Chains A and B, each alone.
Chain A
Amino acid sequence: MRLWRFLATLGLTAWFAGVATAQQWSLAEAAKPYAGTTIKAIFLDRPGYKAAAKLIPEFEKITGIKVTNEVIPYENTREKIVLDMTAQGGDYDVVLVDVVWIGEFASNGWLVPMEKFYNDPKLADPALNLKGFFPILLDSFGTWDKKIYGLPFDNYAGLLFYNKCMLEKAGFKRPPATWDELLKVYAPKLTDPKQGIYAFALQSRRGETQSADSFMRMLWPFGGSLIDPKTFEPNLLSPGSQKGLQFRQDLMKYMPPGIVDYDHNEAVNALAQGKVAMITEWSAFNGTLTDPKSSKIVNCLGVSTEPAGPAGIKGALGGFSYGVNAYSPPERQAAAWLFIQWITSEAKAKDYIRAGGVSARMSAYKDPAIQKAYPFTVPMVKAWEQGNPIFRPRFPEWPAISEIIAQIGTEMMLGKVSVKDGAAQINAKVKEILSKAGYYDGKKPKLQ
């Protein structure tokens, strides 16, 4: 009995101690040593960043830390960061990390491992709750080799946006459930080239748009992949990959001419102007499509998960985490952590969503009010729950591979090279890049 009592007292004391520290920790208190510090964050010209900009004044008021930002076009962001990092300039304290850059940034030591902060009781908010992020987002956007380098901030899932009115007019009461259905049943009825109306638009402009949004999107649902996940051997000549790439060619009949020049904006506008019936796009474009200023189809807009292939849905996954620059001075690093922790926190998640952002916190989407106000979050959460964390390989070699795919992928769509020859060409280049990197002779662990 005495032992029990002793243990109970011990437990109770520990619990009280825990509560005490929890009560003690406050953002204002934690930020005190850093008040007056100015940190710079990288922003993109996208809704999630505008949402953050709306919330930042509150953070500045509590902490006295000033958060400035630099808006960079996505296509130049990696270039800017790489140049800053190799110069060890520490220009950006809050570093934007795309899912496909995490391998490069982390393995080069450009980001501070987050454990340094979340294990520091002075800096870690007891309510941080890393388990509250969608596991796929924290793993994919923020984690490299089992260490966390960033917290997911701007999060996307590929979704099928469609024009309900056009579908109903053609006699369809629901969106296509599979790619096959989309091609064979829906597409012929929704395409009328004379009127300039097409069933589908797949953004395929050369660049990351071609490699990620067009090329990779068509591999996975058909059972294909860029490389074999175990051996890292190029896998584009496998039956699944070939089927997916051939499907893309077949579907082009029902896409607007010049689709290889379509970027995100062109595809979203085509849907918004009623020229195209369906697109598969990032969830982040929901804002553009529901805004009467930029969309004629606000009342006709439907959203669902991407169509499934023989291998399942396996839709596109993308997004950004915020990490801390390893070359920034320590006080700015701490201030940057406090900002990242705050903007991605569970407490701020709903505010962030209401301001136009997409939070990575699971709890926020369980709220029926959020589900009702933002219907696109329902299929988005579904997509994340069964998502594919290696939609694109996250290793440092991806940018070089992406360039190859961007080029040969567009040539393939244009019919300048056959699906088979093009796949063989990309395979050869991928093999070359990965062997140079040392994956095949065991010099480098096979992480992706």
Chain B
Amino acid sequence: MWSTRTRNWFLAPTVLTLLVIGIFPLLFALNISLRQYQITNPGLGFGWNNFANYVTVLSDSYFWGSLGRTFFFLALTLPVQFILGLLIALILHRQEWPFLRAVARVALVIPLATTPAVVGLIGRLMFDSDFGLANWIVTLFGAGKISFLGDPNLALFSLAVMDTWQWTPFFALVLLASLTAVPQDAVEAATLETTRRWDLFRYVEWPYLLPGLTAVLILRTADTMKLFDLIFVMTRGGPGTATELISVYTQRIGFRVFDQGVAAAMAILSLIVTIILARWYIRIFYREAE
């Protein structure tokens, strides 16, 4: 209908935008990750420094510590969010209670639409050691007051709770959409074969969930790798380094110490980790779907 040239013109704005806001910053980061780049200390110059930034990062025990903590946080949040999200999706997928379903769908969007910084503020209030909701629940069970955000173990757990509150609906909505894509005749045929709900789920619905699930896992992993605002507001990475995930550490080096070369090297390494994890999810889950 249109010539290739016309079509290219229509595509150009998108490609251009992508270049400006995606590709250029990436190349810029790659560039400065290979340079001495301490902007508060211009006297040192901005020359190439033979991968010194990468050597610094890879031999930095705090970097590995924060990366390990990030993985731990992923392992803590993703399964819970997936299972809760799946349960919600399955409940909402039933044909009964149309009104409740409509309300629930709207309610699910609210946490997603909340700014992470605000979620962090809510978290600070909920886990406050004096008048927080969490402590009220604890005292209901007769236990003494607990300082959730002041205890290194509980602080990360508290963050995981807030993250789960915010992102479980995302799992639920995507899985729900996938469930509606299951062809009705396949379900009907299957119900003739078996009366067990589990079989129906495992052999008919599950394969349809996998593409969506893979996408959500990739997005959530990338989100967690760059999870910053929630943590900064709730604990600022403390107490000690208990909640210092990789993004918080990168920000600390980049905008507190202002060694942007080293921070850029960390960001590039985080990107590589994210890509590896994404490939891994695709291999495990997507393969199964095919």
Residues of A within 8 A of B (CB): 75, 79, 82, 86, 104, 108, 196, 205-207, 210, 256-262, 275, 396, 399-400, 402-403, 406-407, 410-411, 413-414, 416, 437
Contacts and interface: CB of A to CB of B under 8 A. Distances in A.
Contacts of A86: 39-40, 42
Interface in B233-271: 235-241, 244, 252, 255-259
B41 interface: yes
Contacts of A413: 239
Interface in B111-149: 129-130, 145, 147-149
Interface of B: 39-42, 62, 129-130, 145, 147-152, 155, 235-241, 244, 252, 255-259
A82 B255 CA distance: 9
Nearest to A400: B257
B240 A410 contact: yes
A79 B150 CA distance: 26
B147 A403 contact: no
Secondary structure call for the B interface? loop
Contacts of A258: 129, 147-151
Given A108-B42, A256-B147, A257-B145, 8 more contacts: A79-B256, A206-B239, A207-B236, A261-B239, A400-B257, A403-B256, A403-B257, A407-B62
7 contacts: A108-B41, A196-B130, A206-B240, A256-B129, A258-B148, A260-B238, A414-B239
B237 to A, nearest CB: 6
Contacts of A205: 236, 238
Contacts of A261: 129, 147, 149-150, 155, 235, 238-239
Nearest to B128: A266
B240 A403 contact: no
A361 to B, nearest CB: 32
A410 B129 contact: no
Nearest to B240: A411
B130 to A, nearest CB: 7
A206 B129 contact: no
Given A82-B39, A82-B258, A259-B150, A411 B241 contact: yes
B152 A414 contact: yes
A88 B210 CA distance: 50
Nearest to A275: B130
Contact of B147 (A257, A406, A407): A257
Nearest to B155: A261
A82 B239 contact: no
Most buried by B among A196, A258, A259: A258
Nearest to B259: A400
Contacts of B236: 75, 205-207
B145 to A, nearest CB: 7
Contacts of A108: 40-42
